[in-house]
Amino acid sequence: MSRILDTREAGFAAAFRSLAEARGATGGRIAEDVAALLEDVRRRGFSAVADATARFDGVQITPQNARRGDADTRAALDALPAALRGALELAAARIRAFHEAELEPDRFWTDDAGVGVGWRWRAVDAAGLYAPGGKAAYPSSVLMNALPAQVAGVGRRVMVTPPRRARDNPAILGAAHLAGVTEIWAIGGAQAIAALAYGADPIAPVDIVVGPGSAHVAEAKRQVFGHVGIDSVAGPSEVVIIADPATPPRWIAYDLLAQAEHDELAQSLLFTDDPAHACAVLAAVEAILAAGDAGAPARAAWQAHGAVIVTRGLDEAAELADTLAPEHLQLALAPDRAWRLAERIRHAGAIFVGVHAAEALGDYIAGPNHVLPTQTRARFASGLSARSFQKRTTLVAADAAALAAIGPAAAVIADHEGLPAHAGSLRVRLEGP
């Protein structure tokens, strides 16, 4: 059974810190192995991708058999059970609508000095979308990665997914059709990231690579960053829940295990101010696990990384949760209490407010993106959005009067910085032709 920690006990701070830092370490050879594979693909192109796919996936690919076309995705969508297709269509509509609302118009105005300033947003030309194929296949992730790119105006939207997933899971291809993916390649792993970043004829390079994957995929994204953009280097998934005795223990237990069943490194933490409630939730977790009502990785993840933390009050729980900057924060409380705590939180990838706002809604159908910063990166990062696929270009316009108003000050600063040509480019205009 997972641990119960109490903030009033001696040694809590050290135990809590250990709990927060215990996950995500990868083998020392991963970075080295990935670097070698990236360089091989950079040098040899598709031949290196094919060799890696044969080695790691046991599948022989060619430029012809690795490509999936519109007819394949349409057939996959048409073959889905009606209930699943309807659910994916509803999710797609909601995700698209949310990301459309993110887009604000370009702006340009003339300030008091007569200088025109503003900005405009333009989409990248091409985006690479990684659909993972490890312990599970997630059509929801296809929607979450591809739809914001489509909404942003990206013209070429390229999905890669391991060959067995492309073959065995029609929901992946069906979701790609719903999300407007324009190009699909049945390749996965670090070799797929290399092909997207550097190109591997006939695969042309892209400008940004997004989507979750294995430790090797995450490391490959880290190493290609700078040559291309990336969404983030995703770590193991996590949820922090704050609840009180008014929320049924079985509800909370399912919420904890919903995160734990992603993989063995996932983390689920509950903060409660009632010891009896803590024990009741632990008992409910064990009952669900014993009944086999959670995915295979759930028990290992829960036992290794899960915990229930008893606090002096909910304010202390919110303070501790904020230090974790969790990917998901679930406030399973009455609305007034939940919103009050939500206002205190500065760092979280997504916040779920109220007892009925299960984090699983966000995974599939609420509308906001489920690609979120992990491992405290919510301190400085945001989730995937339509803006992730756009760049902002600032605009400056000035006539002679505007230059006269602010140019002399700019020249003084240039003089101080020892850059005479900077100052000269301003003063020659101030002096006139």
Q: Transcribe 314-325 into DSSP letters.
A: HHHHHHHHHHH-
Q: Look at phi and psi of residue 180 and say left if phi exceeds 0, alpha if psi is from -120 to 50, else beta.
A: left
Q: Which two tokens stand for residue 128?
A: 């690479």
> At 253, is the pLDDT very low, low, confident or very high (cuts 50, 70, 90)?
very high
CATH 3.40.50.1980 residue window(s) in the chain? 3-24+235-366, 29-101+122-230
Q: Say which residues have a Cβ less than 8 Å from residue 425's Cβ, sequence separation at least 6.
A: none
Give per-residue pLDDT as tens, 356-407. Answer: 999 999 999 999 999 999 999 999 999 999 999 999 999 999 999 999 999 9
Look at the domain 29-101+122-230 and name its fold. Answer: Rossmann fold (3.40.50)
Please classify residue 312 by burial: count the beta carbons closer than 10 Å to its beta carbon, then call 0-12 exposed, 13-18 middle and 19+ buried: exposed
Give the chain's mean pLDDT: 94
Per-residue model confidence (pLDDT) at position 21: 82
pLDDT at 1: 44
DSSP state letter for 267: E
The CATH class given to the 3-24+235-366 domain equals alpha beta
**CA nearest neighbour of 178 among 54, 116, 89:** 89
- Residue 81 burial by Cβ neighbours in a 10 Å radius (0-12, 13-18, 19+): exposed
Beta strands in 70-227 (DSSP E): 107-110, 116-123, 126-130, 156-160, 183-185, 208-210
What pLDDT does 137 receive? 73
pTM: 0.94
Would residue 327 show up in a list of annotated catalytic residues for this protein? yes
Task: Count Cβ atoms below 10 Å from residue 111 Cβ, excluding itself.
Answer: 12
Of residues 327, 343, 370, 422, which has the active-site annotation? 327
177 has catalytic annotation: no
Q: Per residue in 313-343, pLDDT tens?
A: 999 999 999 999 999 999 999 999 999 999 9
Question: pLDDT tens for residues 82-113?
Answer: 999 999 999 999 999 999 999 989 999 999 99
Compute CA distances 229 → 168, 200, 389, 407, 422, whole Å.
Answer: 30, 18, 9, 35, 32
Mean pLDDT of 349-354: 98
Is the pLDDT reported for residue 28 higher than 80? no
The predicted structure's pLDDT at residue 78: 96
Q: Of the residues 328, 347, 422, 431, which is catalytic?
A: 328
pLDDT 10s digits, 110-156: 999 999 999 999 999 999 999 987 656 789 999 999 999 999 999 99
Encode pLDDT of 152-194 as tens digits. Answer: 999 999 999 999 876 778 999 999 999 999 999 999 999 999 9
- Reading the block at residue 113, the tokens are 């000095």
**For the range 35-40, what are the long-range contacts, defined as Cβ-Cβ under 8 Å and sequence gap of 24 or more?**
35/223, 37/190, 37/191, 37/194, 37/220, 38/190, 38/193, 38/194, 38/197, 38/198, 38/220, 38/223, 38/224, 40/194
Asked whether 364 and 93 are in contact (CB, 8 A), the reply is no
